[in-house]
Amino acid sequence: MESDSQSPNETEIDRSNGIKNFLARLFAREEETLREQLQRFFDDQELRINNDQLQMIEGVLSLVDKRAENIKVPSPRMVSLPVTINRADLENILRKSGHTRFPVYTDKDGLRDYVGILHVKDLLPFLMKGGKKIVLKDIVRKLLVVPENQTLLSLMRTMRQKKFHMALTVNEHGDVSGLVTLEDILEEIVGDILDEHDNRSNDIKEIGLRIYRVDAMLPLNEVNQRIALNLPEEKFNTLAGFLLHQLKGDVAENREIRYGSVNFRLEKVSGQQIKNVIVELDVPSANAGNNTATS
């Protein structure tokens, strides 16, 4: 009596044929979304896959088509440090930005020549010594420069192989056009999944003395309660809505606006959507209380 079970070789052949059929459909059925094509493939193979796994596979496949220029932080919005920066300005930028890595440049006839990447932990010995002068060029790390049309998949491989967490992008003229971090690339893979499963435990995070990183989509009344603000709740549902009104829709990363004794900086923006905001409260004084907005 012959067995109905397939041998391992037969199973591998079937799987291989399934992959070929999937690829054929991928190019033949343009009306199907990538998600539908992937789900059909896994159904055909009788493989169980949950929504998170499906989204992650979609994210990985998207790295083949997306390029560094699609996710870069444009050069005008980069937080960079001049080699000649003084201690006070340096500490102010470190405190306000919340970043751990910064491109460092020299100024040549009004043009920036990037010489390396500064990691905050390399600064600690110098900051602990005191003194006003810090020579950044002595402690910067090597710089990774890539063409802005490099695919994210290729860029991720390069960054992992060479152990870089940040890369500067250049355009066809060789000019620096922006920067990309390894975190940005990984977010393309898992970003949507993290957003869906966010338990909101970090929706307001204290990052300094009276300085907070806030999810801009939080209800405005909740923001007021949790960090002792007094923003008008009557017309606005969220912090983002309040800030969009104050800025008249003119949003950009690192854009700042002041309202009374509170300074807001747009940390993360996607199109016209404000995602994260740095909220810095003044130290209370006897004259505080004039709630007017300036930008």
108-161 pLDDT, tens digit each:
888 899 999 999 888 888 777 776 677 888 899 999 999 999 998 889 889 989
Residue 30 lies in a domain: yes
Mean pLDDT of 73-90: 89
Tell me: do 35 and 17 sit in the same domain. yes
Tell me: do 137 and 235 sit in the same domain. no
Cα dist. 222→226, 227, 235 in Å? 6, 9, 15
Residue 217 lies in a domain: yes
Tell me: do 183 and 208 sit in the same domain. no
Are β-strands 166-170 and 145-147 bridged in parallel, bridged antiparallel, or unpaired? parallel
Residue 63 lies in a domain: no
Per-residue model confidence as pLDDT tens digits over 88-100: 888 888 877 778 8
Residue 58 lies in a domain: no
Higher pLDDT, residue 255 or 183: 255
Tell me: do 219 and 268 sit in the same domain. yes
Q: What percent of the chain has pLDDT over 70?
A: 69
Tell me: do 74 and 188 sit in the same domain. yes
Q: Is residue 231 helix, strand or coil?
A: coil
Per-residue model confidence as pLDDT tens digits over 200-243: 456 898 888 789 999 998 889 889 999 989 899 888 888 988 99
Q: DSSP class of residue 29?
A: -
Q: What is the pLDDT of residue 224?
A: 92
* Boundary-marking domain end, from 165, 192, 219: 192
Residue 284 lies in a domain: yes
Cα angle value 282/288/293 (rounded, 5°): 75
Per the structure block, which two tokens stand in for 135?
């020579």
56 pLDDT more than 50? yes
Per the structure block, which two tokens stand in for 174?
């060789």
Tell me: do 109 and 135 sit in the same domain. yes
Cα dist. 121→87, 102, 142, 153, 282 in Å? 15, 12, 15, 29, 27
Least Cα distance to 150 among 42, 70, 44, 55 occurs for: 70
Specify the CATH number for the domain of residue 276: 3.30.465.10
Residue type, 219: P
Residue type, 203: D
Tell me: do 188 and 211 sit in the same domain. no
* Boundary-marking domain end, from 192, 217, 245: 192
Specify the CATH number for the domain of residue 108: 3.10.580.10
Mean pLDDT of 28-47: 53
Tell me: do 85 and 18 sit in the same domain. no
Tell me: do 115 and 165 sit in the same domain. yes
Cα angle value 84/105/138 (rounded, 5°): 60
Residue 279 lies in a domain: yes
Tell me: do 172 and 255 sit in the same domain. no
Tell me: do 229 and 261 sit in the same domain. yes
Tell me: do 84 and 103 sit in the same domain. yes
Instruction: Give the chain's domain count.
Output: 3
Residue 80 lies in a domain: yes
Domain span holding position 225 = 202-294
Mean pLDDT of 260-285: 86
Residue 61 lies in a domain: no
103 pLDDT more than 80? yes
